A and B are shown apart, each in its own frame.
Chain A
Amino acid sequence: MLKLDGCVIENGKFSLRADFAVEAGASIAIIGPSGAGKSTLLEAIAGFRDLKQGKIFWDGYLISKLAPGKRPLAMLFQDGNLFPHLTVEQNISLGLRSNGRLSIDERSEVQFALDRVALSGLGDRKPAELSGGQQSRVALARVLVQRRQMLLLDEPFAALGPALKAEMLDLVAGLLTETGTTLLMVSHDPQDARRIACQTILVADEKAHPPAPTRYLFDNPPPSLRDYLG
């Protein structure tokens, strides 16, 4: 279980309060007006942003003092999820060992991940030689081999077309079911939230609200969400 205990996160002009818990294995969408602090919330959980106040726990362990790489989570950013000078295979390998030197077993694990995201045979390519969708798949394959208990998505598929994005989300949903990973996903599209997230956190008015059932939230939106949905 992920627990944010009385957290205050500052980001320049505004500060964001967060005090909620997320069940292990849940899929949560984070939704809210632009600039309300959705990414800020994820960055704080991932460790890229210091907490002004409060603590973050995972399964009872305090994780808010840990370096980003030591936290039990993987994160995909809006861009820059791959090293452009490394091949697909090398990029995925970094998820297993940060120095990239793999044993035979680990190699086959990379191959398996490649197969799983339907990129078999493209392991030698550089990211620039791949399409946007394929680049996202590589990043997902790396997340897969990272075997972290949480996955944070900061709109990594925003640049993809609707069909492609839907396909990616289905892929993510499939992977989550296989591994029992908890998902926190920033989105500005209610469709995305409905698609894979059973619960949604609304970030608005300098506050991250506790998760509520997605369907219920969209059917009975509070004022701030109603303004956002239009």
Chain B
Amino acid sequence: MAGRAQPVSPWPGVGAAALVAALILGTLAAVALRADTAGGFGPADWAALRFTLVQAVLSALFSAGLAIPVARALARRRFRGRSALIALLGAPFILPVIVAILGLLQVFGRAGWISDILGLFGLPPLRIYGLHGVVLAHVFFNLPLATRLILQAWQEIPAERFRLAAQLGCDGFTMFRLIELPMLRRILPGVLAVIFAICLTSFAVALTLGGGPRATTLELAIYQSFTYDFDLGRAALLSGLQLALTAVAALAALKFSRGDGFGAGLDRTIRRWDGGAPAVDACWIGVAAAFLLLPLAAVVISGLTGLFEMPALVFRSAVISVLVAATSTIVLLILALPMAMAVATGRHGIVELSGILGLAASPLVIGTGLFILIRPVANPVTLALPVTALVNAVMALPFALRILVPAAHDVVVRHGRLALSLDMDKRTFFTRVLLPRMHPQIRFAAGLSAALSMGDLGVIALFADPQIATLPLQIYRLMGAYQMQAAAGAALLLLLLSMGAFWLLDRGGRLHAET
């Protein structure tokens, strides 16, 4: 049904996308226009670009590659605590960078748990610092996201397909080739592009785990341009480069991920008949869980003592963070739902592109750009929280779109014709069909966005007011004041809040979870 009436209108989504693009490109332009000199591109920048690309590509490949067997194992096994595990696996993704680094190194560092065990056998400690360390850290952050996205796509395969394959006597590999491979072909380019873009803006993680200036990324070069050199032209140029790279990755992903949905299935509970080897699945789930949960355990353990040493102020920051997260989640849904619908109605790749740009937008550039733009009209400091909420929403938008777009597409394909034949108006289709059908995905996106916003330092540091500090900022302040214990406690509180928000919002989103 090409070119005919659609049950949803693309225009609100196109509008939202334009708004997002204006925010990202407008702030970049503001920074560029404020520059005294045109930015130059030195040999150090080429080295930074090369390292950034290498680590981002490797991180994306490893994260997505490892996520496939983990997601597959999770998709076909039912066990007690499965949904709790899936929720918990998402935690690294929402940790503040500094907390995650400390947690990771408590496990994988020179003095980490693994090195301690190696020491018992007289072996030298683990050498974590280097390109492999950067990739390991990025896999730690992004494996959960990749797993969740792939798992969701897996669970959206109608049960009828598996039944058919089972009936045809397909073995595990044939079933993979017939049903799962086409699904992966559809979802993987997007997953790879998203993780690539996330890793493109890595800075503190890449530098610390990379072990030195060899691991200089573009984002570090941007930071250097702002603070060390005050070369706004170069900052804008480098940020523009990041955006361009992300745009290329996104366009490539869009081109390769074209394909049809899986057609309609009735809402039957998924049951699968491809046994596979339970031991292999258990192994994948166990290894992934250990990899992701051990550093979390380290964060929890170091936080436990600090939890009782935290000044009351930390709780005030927690309240502020919750408010910022709530606002940011609402803003996100207002932007993401229309955009997802616009993409679902057809070739509005430009909408998806503008959505993904949020990933590669340097927080420093957005923050500085907003600062330049807001200052003539208002005191940026008084707008610190709304601005932080807005920027957090834009940063979470790409993830939300990856979750919402396939679902919106399926709803339009499955039910669009029926709605049209019933002369259903667009508003009714939205409220009576789209919202209820996308309920799990909306909750997932909202939970993810709330958790991300809670854990993200965002641009608050650029606008901060002594009175108003979000929890991540407070953690940095505590650390800056030598109060590492209290900071660890606050980090644990943040982890609990993020997970709590995610759990609360996503509870209804655990698709087809058999219990």
Is B350 close to A, CB under 8 A? no
Q: Which of A49, A77, A94 touches B422 (beta carbons < 8 Å)?
A: A94
Q: Is the CB of A99 within 8 A of B266?
A: no
Contact pick for A81, options B268, B418, B427, CB 8 Å: B418
Interface presence of B433 (CB below 8 A): yes
Closest to A81 in B: B418
Which B residues are in CB contact (< 8 Å) with A98? Answer: 419, 422-425, 428
Whether A99 pairs with B4 at a CB distance below 8 angstroms is no
Q: CB of A47 within 8 A of chain B? A: yes
A46: Cβ under 8 A from any B Cβ: yes
Q: Which of A68, A75, A81, A100 makes the CB contact (< 8 A) with B5?
A: A68
CB distance from B424 to the nearest CB of A (A): 4
CB pair B264–A85 under 8 Å, yes or no, is no
Q: Are A68 and B420 touching (Cβ within 8 A)?
A: yes
CB–CB B4/A70 < 8 A: no
Report the separation of the CA atoms of residues A92 and B180 in the bound assembly, to the nearest whole angstrom: 36
0/1 interface trace, chain B 245-266, chain A, CB 8 Å (1 if under)? 0000000000000000000101
Interface class of chain A by DSSP: loop
A47 to B1, CA, bound (A): 9
**Chain A residues near B419 (CB-CB < 8 A):** 98
A128 CA to B267 CA, complexed, in Å: 6
Inter-subunit contact B424/A75 (CB<8 Å):
no
CB under 8 Å from chain A, chain B span 408-437: 414-415, 417-425, 427-428, 432-433, 436-437
User: Which A residues touch B275, using CB under 8 A?
Assistant: none
Of all chain A residues, which has the CB nearest B427?
Answer: A99
CB distance from A148 to the nearest CB of B (A): 10
Q: How far is the CA of A85 from the CA of B266 in the complex (A)?
A: 10
Whether a CB of chain A sits under 8 angstroms from the CB of B376 is no
Residues in B whose Cβ lies below 8 Å from that of A128: 266-268
Q: Please, how many angstroms separate the alpha-carbon atoms of A95 and B423 in the complex? A: 9
Q: A68-B420, A69-B421, A80-B264 are in contact. Are A85 and B437 (CB under 8 A)?
A: yes
B267 to A84, Cβ gap below 8 A? yes
Tell which of B267, B414, B423, B427 touches A69, judged by Cβ atoms closer than 8 Å.
B423
- A79→B421 contact, CB < 8 A: no
Assuming the contacts A77-B417, A80-B417, A128-B268, asked whether A85 and B436 have C-beta atoms less than 8 A apart, the reply is yes
- Inter-chain contacts of A100 with B (CB < 8 A): 428, 432
Question: B427 to chain A: which residues have CB within 8 Å?
Answer: 99
Question: What residues on B are CB-neighbors of A85 within 8 Å?
Answer: 267, 433, 436-437
CA distance A48 to B422 in the complex (A): 12
CA distance A80 to B267 in the complex (A): 12
Query: With the chains together, A43 CA to B5 CA distance in Å?
Result: 13
> 1/0 per position for A43-56, CB-CB distance to B under 8 A?
10011111000000
Kindly state the separation between the CA atoms of A99 and B432 in the bound complex, as whole angstroms.
7
Bound together, the chains give a CA A81 to CA B421 distance in angstroms of 10
Residues of A within 8 A of B267 (CB): 84-85, 126, 128
- Rounded to whole Å, the gap between the CB of B308 and the closest CB of chain A is 47
In the complex, what residue of chain A is closest to B425 when comparing beta carbons?
Answer: A98
Residue A163, interface by CB 8 Å? no
A108 CA / B433 CA spacing, docked (Å):
24
- B480 interface residue (CB < 8 Å to A): no
A69: B residues at CB distance < 8 A = 420-424
Among candidates B3, B268, B415, B428, residue contacting A99 with C-beta atoms closer than 8 Å:
B428
> With contacts A47-B4, A50-B4 known, is A127 near B418, CB below 8 A?
no
Q: Nearest CB to that of A152 among chain B residues?
A: B421
Query: Is the CB of A104 closer than 8 A to any CB of chain B?
Result: no
Q: Which of B418, B420, B423 contacts A80 (CB 8 A)?
A: B418
Smallest distance from the beta carbon of B473 to chain A beta carbons, Å?
A: 42
- Residues in B whose Cβ lies below 8 Å from that of A146: 422
A67 touching B1, Cβ below 8 Å: no
Chain B CB within 8 A of A83 CB: yes
| Residues 73 to 90 of chain A near chain B (Cβ within 8 Å) | 74-75, 77, 79-86
- Is the CB–CB distance between A83 and B415 below 8 Å? yes
Residues on B with C-beta less than 8 A from A127 are 266
A49 contact set on B, CB distance < 8 A: 1, 4
Tell me the minimal C-beta distance from B141 to chain A in angstroms: 35
Q: Please indicate which of the listed interface residues B3, B423, B427, B428 has the most CB atoms of chain A within 10 Å of its own CB.
A: B423
Chain A residues, CB < 8 A from B425: 98-99
Instruction: For the complex formed, measure the closest distance between the CB of A138 and the CB atoms of chain B, giving whole angstroms.
Output: 12
Whether B421 and A84, one on each chain, are in contact in the complex, defined by CB atoms closer than 8 angstroms, is no
**CA A102 to CA B112, docked complex, whole Å:** 66
Complex Cα gap A144–B267 (Å) = 25
Minimal Cβ-Cβ distance residue in A for B436: A85
Interface residues of A in 121-168 (CB under 8 A from B): 126-128, 146
A80 near B415 (CB under 8 angstroms)? yes
Contacts of B432 in A (CB 8 A): 83, 86, 94, 99-100
Given A80-B415, A84-B266, A100-B428, the answer on whether A48 and B423 have CB atoms closer than 8 Å is no
Q: In the complex, what distance in Å separates the CA atom of A127 from the CA atom of B268?
A: 10
Judging by beta carbons under 8 Å apart, are A48 and B417 in contact? Answer: yes
A79 to B415, CA, bound (A): 10
Mask, B434-451, CB within 8 Å of A = 1, is 001100000000000000
Q: A218 to B264: give the CA distance in the assembly, Å.
A: 35
Instruction: Using CB atoms, name the residue of chain A closest to B437.
Output: A85
Cβ–Cβ < 8 Å partners of B422 in chain A: 69, 94-95, 98, 146
Instruction: Return A110 CB to nearest CB of chain B, in Å.
Output: 14
Q: Which of B1-51 contact A (CB under 8 A)?
A: 1, 3-5
* B423 & A46 in contact (Cβ 8 Å cutoff): no
Query: Nearest CB to that of A94 among chain B residues?
Result: B422
Q: B424–A67 contact, CB under 8 A?
A: no
In the assembly, what is the distance between CA of A86 and CA of B266, in Å?
12
**Chain A neighbourhood of B4, CB < 8 A:** 47-50, 68
Known: A47-B4, A79-B264, A85-B267. A67 touches B420 (CB 8 A): yes
Nearest chain-B residue to A68 (Cβ)? B420
User: Which residues, 4 to 43 on A, are CB-close (under 8 Å) to B?
Assistant: 43
Contact between chains at B3 and A50 (CB < 8 Å): yes
Cα distance, A46 to B416, chains bound together (Å)? 14
**Considering the chains assembled together, what is the distance between the CA atoms of A69 and B422 in angstroms?**
5
Query: Which are the 7 A-B pairs with shortest beta-carbon distances?
Result: A69-B423, A98-B424, A68-B420, A99-B428, A84-B267, A85-B436, A67-B5
| 15 extra A-B contacts, CB within 8 A, seeds A48-B4, A74-B421, A98-B422 | A46-B421, A48-B417, A67-B5, A67-B420, A68-B421, A68-B423, A75-B421, A79-B264, A83-B433, A85-B433, A86-B436, A99-B425, A99-B428, A100-B432, A146-B422
- Give B contacts to A, CB under 8 Å: 1, 3-5, 264, 266-268, 414-415, 417-425, 427-428, 432-433, 436-437
A-B contact pairs, 11 of them (CB 8 A): A46-B421, A48-B4, A50-B3, A68-B5, A68-B421, A69-B421, A83-B432, A98-B428, A100-B428, A127-B266, A128-B267
